[in-house]
Amino acid sequence: MIIERILNNNVVISLDDHRQEMVVMGKGIAFNKKIGDTTDPDKVEKIFSLNTPFTEQFKALLNLVPASCISATEAIIALANDNLPGKLHHSLLISLVDHLYYALQRFSQNIHIPNALQWEIKKLYPQEFALGIQALQIIAEHTGSQLPEDEAGFIALHLVNAQLNDNMQNTVQITRFMQDILSLVQYHFDLVYEEEGLRYQRFVTHLKFFACRVLDHQHIDGDDPALAQLVQQQYPAAQRCTDKINQYTELHHDHSLTQDERMFLTIHIEQLRK
């Protein structure tokens, strides 16, 4: 690949065989190189296509942020890919680089922004939060700055956002929605959640996707009303709690639960309260 632009010693913009711009990263990849030279394939560690909707934003970031911030972000994403299910959306690289750059700027200026959702993030996204804690160590190793624990929560939200392929505003709304429903169920039955238990984890997972549908005003409808009626009859206590959830979604989100949504919630709630 031909070097078109040198951003720093470890990052260049190159042209591939089809004249498409690529970001090429590798330790010392630009050392003793100039525009027009060929990249050393033995030094190439990461390649990113710039033929995406985020091209100009990514270019601007690459010009602005230091290489240590980019390499830290890369290491965090690699860690997340190894530990989280599914595929993380490619926009995570841009959003996380951008977040870390300004977080490091604030840290250097002794400005601390508390994470208002820190408690909810720890409870609802324990795996992502644990990765956020590990990310703080990665950032310290790459940049020399030990960011506060609140940043682990912010990083966790970016990981959740990348899994849901959504924007950060919606991810925050989803988190608040989930916490509202968990609190509603807890107070209705006077429960003490076993947060490490499988039933609780299943319910949280169900709530995550349920929240996405409610906030997007989507419904699920089934073709087995008899089964839904049977669930309602067998689990009347859980059904009454589901009725409260329906009142909440109608009042706050203009969303009335379908018969299938009621059925699945009732089943999860019944299992949770045993």
Tell me the residue ranges of DSSP E strands in the chain: 2-8, 11-15, 21-25, 46-49
Count of residues in the chain: 274
| DSSP-based three-state secondary structure for 38 | strand
Which pLDDT belongs to residue 214?
Answer: 92
Question: Residues spanned by CATH 2.30.24.10 within the chain?
Answer: 2-51
pLDDT in tens, 2-39: 888 787 777 787 887 777 777 787 778 888 888 888 88
Task: Summarize the confidence of residues 106-110 as an average pLDDT.
Answer: 93
152: pLDDT confidence band, cut at 50, 70 and 90? very high
Residue 22 pLDDT? 78
Say which CATH class 67-165 falls into. mainly alpha
| Percent of the chain at pLDDT exceeding 70 | 95
User: Is pLDDT above 90 for 76?
Assistant: yes
Report phi then psi at 11, rounded to 5. Answer: -140, 130
pLDDT of residue 50: 62
pLDDT at 229: 86
Residue 131: how many other CB atoms lie within 10 Å = 21
Q: Are 27 and 10 in contact (CB under 8 A)?
A: yes
Specify the pLDDT at position 191: 92
Instruction: List residues bridging with 23 in a β-sheet.
Output: 13, 48
Query: Average pLDDT of the chain?
Result: 87
Cβ–Cβ < 8 Å for 159, 84 = yes
How far apart CA 74 and CA 94 sit, in angstroms, is: 10
pTM of the model: 0.70
Rounded average pLDDT over 91-98 = 84
Which pLDDT score, from 0 to 100, does residue 256 have?
A: 93
Contact residues for 239 (Cβ-Cβ < 8 A; gap 6+):
231, 232, 262, 266
Domain 184-273 sits in CATH at 1.10.1790.10
Residues 159/131, Cβ–Cβ less than 8 Å: yes
CB count, 10 Å around CB of 112?
Answer: 11
Sheet (strand 2-8) strand order: 2-8, 11-15, 21-25, 46-49
Please, where in the chain does CATH 1.10.1790.10 lie? 67-165, 184-273
At 255, which amino acid appears?
H
Class of domain 2-51 as given by CATH:
mainly beta
